[in-house]
Amino acid sequence: MISHVRALAADIGPRGTGTSGEEAAARYVAGRLTAMGLPVEQQSFRAVASQNAFPLVICLLALLAVVLYPLSGNLLRWLAAILAAATAPLLLQTIRTSNNWLRPLLLKVTSRNVIGRSEPRVEVRERVVLLAHLDTNRCRLVWRAGRLGALEPLTFLTLTVLAALGLLYIFGALLGMRRLATAGPDWIWLVSLAPAAYVVGMVATLWKDDRTGYSCGAHDNAASVAVALTVGSQLATHPLRYTQVWLAFTGAEETDHSGLYALLRRHRNLLSNAAFIGLEGLGSGDLVYLIRQGLCFRYRPDPQLLAVAERCAAQLPDLQARPAQMVGEDETGTLRRTGYRAICIAGRDPATGTLPHWHRADDTADTVSDLFMARAARFVIAMLNELDGLQAVRR
């Protein structure tokens, strides 16, 4: 498995969404699946270029409201109030779905998915999708291992500041109507300069954050790709009896989850009741199945998949798989919040509480453990066999 990690994280290197590195990773994975004899499907789609694009445009929308509010006319005050009031809900929507209504305004790049399938020996009674994303993120200033303590408070503070700005301007617009005010700044606008200054600081921080280089992404997520390819290799020679397994290597996970959305759109009918197992950071640390996850607003895994993970952990104590919680967002969160069955299997650094070397320059191939990846692959295979066994006793 370490050869896959070296090929992706060392030979190809950084794989930012929509970059030549991500494209090279897709070609590599497609070649490996073809060599296994598995059918390969490839998808291309348009994706937002950066995870910071959404909060940046939201902050700029808030600053536009600050510019419009003191201009002549109550109509402009109401327009400013509406724009400002929309910013906190838009940021909340972005946190929960990695998307929002402003997406058509953002710069796009071409990203891609690679999908392999293992057909069951008897018949399809269950579909399981293993998710392992191809792209890597930048070496972030805050959104990284070692800075986890600041991540949630900063997010809550930003939501509060944006909400306060919106409420302040709505109050000012209502007050303006009552007084029939038509022009000139007032005390409400002067008060709003405090949250506006915070927003200006956010814009500067986000802009600087987007100037950092891309991580090589050995843990996030070359190691998980290696685990999925290893599972696929076993399934190619020893398919399950009743379970069709999809090996979905997605693009744009680090920005707007467009790869996942593209997969769900194309195969909506087939995957409406599928079980999704997200693989994240499976290169070292503690082998965990996440029982509570998310940024600011938590979500939990599908109860049946959680029960399967618990049984496999109990049956294979040498794997040392255990339950854990983690702050952060990935494709599992998008799936759970849109009603799909999903669970995340991850590597967790006990020192930081995040994926090991998460979004850092030192996330290199030499930091990954082949033994850890072998344990992770065994655990995923055990879960697949357990799910397949559940289908055997039905009907």
- Show pLDDT as tens, one digit a residue, over the chain (395 residues): 899 999 999 999 999 999 999 999 999 999 999 999 999 999 999 999 999 999 999 999 999 999 999 987 889 999 999 999 999 999 999 998 889 999 999 999 999 999 999 999 999 999 999 999 999 999 998 888 888 778 889 999 999 999 999 999 999 988 876 655 444 458 899 999 999 999 999 999 999 999 999 999 999 999 999 999 999 999 999 999 999 999 999 999 999 999 999 999 999 999 999 999 999 999 999 999 999 999 888 999 999 999 999 999 999 999 999 999 999 889 999 999 999 999 999 999 999 999 999 999 999 999 999 999 999 999 999 999 999 999 877 65
Amino acid at 370: D
Residues 6+ apart with CB under 8 A from 366: 218
CA dist 278 → 42, 44, 188, 206, 322 (Å): 19, 21, 47, 28, 16
pLDDT value for 170? 94
Q: What is the pLDDT of residue 395?
A: 57
Domain boundaries, the chain: 2-50+110-139+213-392, 53-104+166-209
* Cα-only R_g, the chain: 23
pTM greater than 0.85: yes
Indicate if the alpha-carbon torsion angle 105, 59, 165, 183 is positive or negative: negative
Query: Is 2-50+110-139+213-392 a CATH 3.40.630.10 domain?
Result: yes
Distance of alpha carbon 26 from alpha carbon 18, whole angstroms:
11
Buried b (16+ CB within 10 A) or exposed e, 333-368: bbbbeeebbbbbbbbbbeebbbbbbbbbeebbbebb
Closest by Cα among 256, 292, 279, 284 to 357? 284
